């Protein structure tokens, strides 16, 4: 009986080791990559200041391309490290409406420049919950960026709403983008799964990690060609407090992807 457990435990340990090696490696790469990034930035600025002449524009465009690549790699590493070594939770009594409004304000200008109509339908009263505000803003930002990146119609619409479902606070991000093909629906939470040219496939795994750490659940409904609706449901303030004081041992709610 114990023998049959050995390979399973071995696999789990190997996975844990691999995770530790991967995050250690990412950490080691980060500093030299940052200096490469800063140098690329300086080279672009210095070249730009030179008088126009032989091959300037050619060299400048190569330097700009290097800058773009180092920026992308450095963002990828930061996201990966955030996933592999999530910061500890700083839970405070908060208002989901305020977290949503702050995140929307951050994206407003960018979205309107890209022709995206952003509509907020927030619950008329505050939506209290116990949350790590920074992490929830990060999760929401990832969902909103996914919605924006899925836009494929002339009229681009994203609607964000908040409210209560069975007494639990929820936030919903609805887009009228291309939708998620049925074949991809089982994959979207997989680390590094992406269908985008410049995607890293870390957005949804990070969202899921944050939502799980809050004891919440994510459900996604998508219709190909029509759009996607992502709903994050979180425990109410009272439920979180009860859980923190150990009175409620309820497990995590599963994700639903339809
Ligand atoms: N709102 C959406 N509409 C359509 N497809 C989506 C939507 N959200 C996620 N997806 C699909 O799920 C995939 C994984 O999303 P995820 O956010 O994890 O990674 P990504 O957006 O590709 O890269 P990044 O790490 O930059 O977020 C996307 O590549 C896309 O195929
Ligand atoms: Mg994403």
**CATH 1.10.287 spans which residues of the chain?**
2-84
Tokens representing 187 are 């994959």
What architecture does CATH give domain 92-257? 2-Layer Sandwich (3.30)
Give the pLDDT score at 248.
46
In this structure, are residues 175 and 161 in contact, taking their beta carbons and an 8 Å threshold? no
Give the helix, strand, coil percentages of the chain, each rounded to 5: 50, 20, 30
**Residue 12 CA to ligand 1 centre (angstroms):** 27
**CATH 3.30.565.10 spans which residues of the chain?**
92-257
Q: Is 227 in the pocket of ligand 1 (CB under 6 A)?
A: no
Enter the pTM of the model.
0.84
Give the pLDDT score at 29.
93
In this structure, are residues 157 and 148 in contact, taking their beta carbons and an 8 Å threshold? no
**Residue 175 CA to ligand 1 centre (angstroms):** 13
- Full pLDDT tens readout for the chain, 258 residues: 333 334 444 566 776 777 788 888 888 999 999 999 999 999 999 999 999 988 999 999 999 999 999 999 999 998 888 888 888 899 999 999 999 999 999 999 999 999 999 999 999 999 999 999 999 999 999 999 999 999 999 999 999 999 999 999 999 999 999 999 999 999 999 999 999 988 999 999 999 999 999 999 999 999 999 999 999 999 998 888 887 776 544 444 556 666
Question: Nearest-CA neighbor of 203 among 214, 215, 218, 216?
Answer: 218
2-84 topology per CATH: Helix Hairpins (1.10.287)
**Residue 226 CA to ligand 2 centre (angstroms):** 18
Q: Which residue owns the Cα nearest ligand 1 atom 19?
A: 201
In this structure, are residues 137 and 111 in contact, taking their beta carbons and an 8 Å threshold? no
Question: Nearest-CA neighbor of 40 among 58, 74, 73, 63?
Answer: 63
Give the pLDDT score at 22.
84
Whole-number Å distance between alpha carbons of 235 and 181: 30
Atom of ligand 1 nearest to the CA of 173: 1
Give the pLDDT score at 246.
66
Q: Is 146 in the pocket of ligand 1 (CB under 6 A)?
A: yes
Tokens representing 127 are 């939506």
Burial class (CB in 10 A: 0-12, 13-18, 19+), 143: buried
Q: Is 187 in the pocket of ligand 1 (CB under 6 A)?
A: no
**Residue 4 CA to ligand 2 centre (angstroms):** 39
């Amino acid at each position: 009986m114990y023998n049959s457990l050995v390979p399973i435990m071995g696999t789990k340990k190997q996975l844990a080791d691999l995770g530790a090696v991967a995050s250690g490696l990412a950490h080691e790469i980060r500093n030299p990559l940052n200096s490469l990034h800063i140098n690329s930035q300086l080279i672009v600025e210095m070249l730009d200041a030179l008088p126009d002449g032989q091959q300037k524009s050619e060299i400048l465009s190569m330097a700009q391309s290097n800058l773009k690549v180092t920026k992308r790699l450095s963002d990828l590493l930061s996201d990966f490290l955030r996933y592999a070594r999530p910061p500890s939770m700083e839970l405070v009594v908060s208002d989901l409406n305020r977290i949503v409004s702050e995140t929307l304000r951050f994206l407003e200008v960018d979205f309107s420049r890209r022709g995206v109509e952003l509509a907020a339908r927030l619950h008329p009263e505050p939506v209290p919950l116990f949350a790590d505000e920074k992490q929830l803003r990060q999760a929401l930002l990832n969902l909103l960026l996914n919605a924006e990146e899925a836009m494929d119609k002339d009229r681009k619409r994203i609607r964000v709403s908040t409210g209560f479902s069975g007494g639990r606070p929820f936030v919903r991000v609805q887009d009228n983008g291309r939708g998620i093909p049925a074949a991809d629906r089982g994959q979207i939470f997989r680390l590094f799964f992406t269908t985008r040219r410049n995607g890293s496939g870390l957005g949804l795994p990070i969202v899921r990690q944050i939502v799980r750490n809050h004891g919440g659940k994510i459900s996604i409904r998508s219709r190909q060609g029509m759009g996607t609706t992502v709903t994050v449901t979180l425990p109410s303030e009272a439920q979180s407090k009860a859980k923190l004081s150990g009175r409620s041992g309820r497990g995590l709610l599963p994700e639903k992807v339809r």
